[in-house]
Amino acid sequence: MHSKFSFFITPRRDATGRDATGAPLERRESNWMRAHGSFALSPPSRAAARRRDAKAPLAPRKMLTRHATIVAVAPTERRELDALGSEQAFDDAINSGEVVVVDFMATWCRKCIFLKGKLEKFAARTPAARFCWIDVNAVPQALIRKVGVESMPTLQIYVRGEKVYELVAGEDGEAVIRKLVFAIEEAETLAKKK
């Protein structure tokens, strides 16, 4: 069983690739893992031991064990968000003539950090927009008041210096990304009209 995040459950093992009893680990796959090129290791089952004894090839298993630790899967492609550290950098970014998504966040905010990771993955799939982030504690508060940010994380989309969309991201990351897809498409059509 896998979660919707990029983590899979695997049993405890040592550096030799064996489980706590000393048995070697076999590769177990699910349909999702095959589609995304990820895998998790788990102890061989009794059936696998019988197949190994019979010299039959091992077939991938679809179920993962219950007693396990969480191991991160290899990261997917990401695009680093541009950090804007001053009011001048912010003005230059939003007046660049392209669709600009600005994430107003704080380094101490868990939701902000989680959303930033989701945005980096989304930015890799969205080359038409420029993605930036601002640490609200590191820039002058006059800028934060000027753009009207009152809670974090807040996403704003700009087209040629004009704010066309704002989203206060209090929901889960996937819901925010779904809303952002439509907002960026709308901003792109506005950018083509101007």
User: Which active-site residues does the annotation give?
Assistant: 109, 112
In whole angstroms, give the CA distance from residue 158 to residue 165: 7
CB atoms within 10 A of CB 19: 20
For the record, the structure tokens of 68 come out as 């396990």
Buried b / exposed e over 118-148, threshold 16 CB at 10 Å, is bbbbbbeebeebbbbbbbbeebeeebbeebe
For the record, the structure tokens of 156 come out as 């704003």
| DSSP β-ladder status, 129-135 and 82-83 | parallel
C-alpha torsion sign, points 53, 57, 62, 65: positive
Say if residues 99 and 67 touch (Cβ distance below 8 Å).
no
